[in-house]
């Protein structure tokens, strides 16, 4: 029996439909994750390009938009366990170009930008209260990396009561194995996974 069959027989993999107000969450699409010499590589560049379409629509449709950035203190005071596992992350400081959102997706007025020092864009940030304040029920998730901060954000989105739609062509990873494995897990257990174009037909008339 295939993995998918095992999951299906046990009741996993049901489908969610979009509901209520919508937000687009763009996870860590900053210069450092766009650069293969830093934390990037794989299909991340393409995912950033694809996310431009989703962001353009969000701005036209009036969806809420939030961006996350990893930002550690310059003096090292907030170095945490994540920083012990991946020391170069702690060089992502507030004013380092590596921690700035890529030019193509630069936040505009009214878009939330959350700083974080953990994988999930929800963990100890203002994201969940902000979504609740605006009655958002469905979140579209783009960003990097699929097997890291995107996945953690999708799991938390679901846990916090929001419906996660991971935009398959707008999330990227430095390596394809972890990318595919996390999309499999998300589809089975946490949310929907589809290219933005497929979701667009459901949302934009």
202 binds a copy of itself, rule: CB under 8 A: no
Residues 7-66 close enough to bind a copy of itself by CB under 8 A: 7, 10-14, 16, 20-21, 38-39, 41
Instruction: Copy the structure tokens of residue 96.
Output: 């380092």
Query: Quick one: 76 or 97, whose CB is closer to a copy of itself?
Result: 76
Do 176 and 42 touch, CB atoms closer than 8 A?
Answer: yes
Residues 84-113 close enough to bind a copy of itself by CB under 8 A: 84-89, 109-113
Residues 63-82 close enough to bind a copy of itself by CB under 8 A: 73, 75-78, 80-82
Do 105 and 67 touch, CB atoms closer than 8 A?
Answer: yes
Q: How far is the CB of 44 from a copy of itself (least distance, A)?
A: 12
Q: How far is the CB of 142 from a copy of itself (least distance, A)?
A: 18
Q: How far is the CB of 49 from a copy of itself (least distance, A)?
A: 21
118 binds a copy of itself, rule: CB under 8 A: yes
């Amino acid at each position: 029996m295939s993995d998918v069959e095992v999951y299906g027989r046990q009741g996993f993999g049901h489908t969610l439909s979009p509901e209520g107000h919508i937000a687009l969450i763009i996870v860590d699409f900053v210069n450092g994750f766009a650069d293969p010499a830093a934390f990037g590589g794989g299909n991340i560049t393409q995912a950033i390009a694809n996310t431009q379409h989703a962001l353009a629509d969000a701005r036209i449709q009036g969806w809420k938009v939030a961006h996350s950035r990893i930002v550690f203190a310059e003096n090292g005071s907030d170095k945490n366990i994540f920083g012990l596992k991946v020391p170069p992350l702690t060089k992502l400081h507030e004013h380092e170009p590596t921690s700035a959102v890529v030019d193509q997706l630069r936040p505009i007025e009214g878009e939330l930008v959350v700083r974080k020092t953990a994988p999930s864009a929800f963990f100890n940030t203002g994201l969940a209260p902000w979504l609740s304040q605006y009655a958002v029920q469905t979140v579209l998730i783009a960003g990097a990396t699929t097997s890291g901060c995107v996945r953690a954000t999708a799991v938390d989105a679901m846990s916090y009561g929001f419906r996660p739609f991971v935009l398959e062509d707008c999330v990227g990873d430095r390596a394809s194995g972890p990318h595919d494995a996390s999309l499999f897990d998300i589809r089975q257990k946490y949310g929907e996974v589809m290219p933005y174009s497929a979701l667009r037909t459901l949302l934009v008339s």
